[in-house]
Copies of this chain bind each other. A is one copy, B any other.
Amino acid sequence: MSHHLQRRSATSMTEQTNLVAPKVAARPTVKTVAELAGVSTTTVSRVLNGKSQELSEATRQRVHEAARVLGYRPNSLAVGLRKQTTRTIGLMVPDIGNSYFHQLARGAEDTAMQAGYATIFCNTDRRPEKEITYIDLLSDKRVDGIIFTGGGVNGDSHVSERLRPDAKVVTIGPHRLPFPSVGVDDRAAIATAVEHLASQGCRDIACIGGTPGWLIHEERLEGFRRGLTHAGMPFQESLLWLTDLTHNEAKTAIDRAVAQDLRFDGLIAFSDVAAVGAMRALREHGVSIPGDVAIVGCDDTTLSTLVEPQLSSIAFPVYEFGAEATRMIIAMAENKSVEQHVEFDFELHVRASSDRSSA
């Protein structure tokens, strides 16, 4: 069977021309409602917006009834144009496919929806051109605010230059933009992981890092060093392996380290998949976990409990990041005061991959 994952067939065609406008009842407007209720559009607007308590109960009833009968719903475009607010939020993430970001997105979307806000979502792949395109797109649509994640690359100058000075933005994670932000103490998080490994008896701790220049990487690396210092261990350049944090590059890093006969008895990876890749490579080389090498990953994705041994990992309240950022945007949109920075706690989940106590 040679399937190729492509389009296979089309069942039938349906033609759609604009010669004869299909006779669907036009959408009702305030005007329609006003006519049916026998009042002016002003009154309709007032009733439906709950303004003015000085309206006769009778008219109020009639308007509501007319609106109900017609199935009237205000046109958001017109409302937005008039009120200069759209109840819409832009959400920029590097890639919704990444566990970290879809949890975050879910938090943002849930919160927005509860407040009656819509969420426009944008995948940037951390590419400046896409970020710019999206900023323009969102700005054109007059979103009430933008949540910006995955920043911290090259200072994000292209972003700040493109944004209008009155733009309402909240960033999540490390960054250098002059906006309110949400995040955790990434350094402390990694330092904590290092200390945990030290407490398990590790003396030579390796690190599978990410891309230099990305602030998140720099922060975590700083935490790694700080953790080592705190535990009284030297930083060993040869035990720092830079990767793209995928499964494969992590495996490769381990293969190389083994080939070079490098010694290490602890490992921290800046992503769970990388940690899992490393775990597999190590096992293939006959290294036992956590006995020979104790491992800790990052982000505590669902993956961590699905592998064997289960992976220790640092959990961040990612859903809450998204939720809080959204709350902040909404507050800003409603001209309320907002905290300049909200910091959440992390949590180290110790599992079999780094737990030597029961061995």
Q: Is A81 a contact of B77 with CB atoms below 8 Å?
A: yes
Determine the residue in chain B with the shortest Cβ distance to A162: B71
Encoded as 1 (CB less than 8 Å from any B CB) or 0, chain A from 332 to 354 comes to 10011111111111111000000
Judge if A20 is at the interface, Cβ distance under 8 Å. Answer: no
Q: Is B81 a contact of A78 with CB atoms below 8 Å?
A: yes
Closest beta carbon of chain B to A256's beta carbon, Å: 21
Judge if A63 is at the interface, Cβ distance under 8 Å. Answer: no
Q: Write out the residue numbers on chain B whose beta carbons fall within 8 Å of the beta carbon of A17.
A: 335
Determine the residue in chain B with the shortest Cβ distance to A109: B123
A-side residues, CB < 8 A to B, are: 1, 3-18, 22, 24, 27, 73-78, 80-81, 86, 88, 95-97, 102-103, 105-106, 109-110, 113, 116, 118-123, 130, 133-134, 136-142, 164-166, 180, 192, 247, 273, 276, 280, 302-303, 305-308, 315-317, 320, 324, 332, 335-348
* A164-B28 Cα distance, complex, nearest whole Å: 12
* A130-B112 Cα distance, complex, nearest whole Å: 13
* A78-B142 Cα distance, complex, nearest whole Å: 10
* A104-B283 Cα distance, complex, nearest whole Å: 34
Closest beta carbon of chain B to A243's beta carbon, Å: 16
* A308-B279 Cα distance, complex, nearest whole Å: 11
Closest beta carbon of chain B to A328's beta carbon, Å: 11
Closest beta carbon of chain B to A281's beta carbon, Å: 12
Task: Check A24/B306 contact, CB under 8 A, given A78-B81, A337-B15, A343-B8.
Answer: no
* A316-B7 Cα distance, complex, nearest whole Å: 11
Closest beta carbon of chain B to A201's beta carbon, Å: 18
Residue among A11, A17, A73, A315 having the largest count of chain B Cβ atoms under 10 Å: A11
* A130-B110 Cα distance, complex, nearest whole Å: 11
* A27-B341 Cα distance, complex, nearest whole Å: 29
Q: Write out the residue numbers on chain B whose beta carbons fall within 8 Å of the beta carbon of A134.
A: 113
* A346-B142 Cα distance, complex, nearest whole Å: 41
Q: Is B77 a contact of A342 with CB atoms below 8 Å?
A: no
Q: Write out the residue numbers on chain B whose beta carbons fall within 8 Å of the beta carbon of A316.
A: 5
Closest beta carbon of chain B to A110's beta carbon, Å: 7
Instruction: Give me the 5 closest cross-chain CB pairs, A-B, nearest first.
Output: A5-B317, A10-B339, A11-B341, A3-B347, A3-B345
Q: Is B74 a contact of A11 with CB atoms below 8 Å?
A: no
Q: Write out the residue numbers on chain B whose beta carbons fall within 8 Å of the beta carbon of A324.
A: 7
* A280-B76 Cα distance, complex, nearest whole Å: 51
Q: Is A16 a contact of B336 with CB atoms below 8 Å?
A: yes
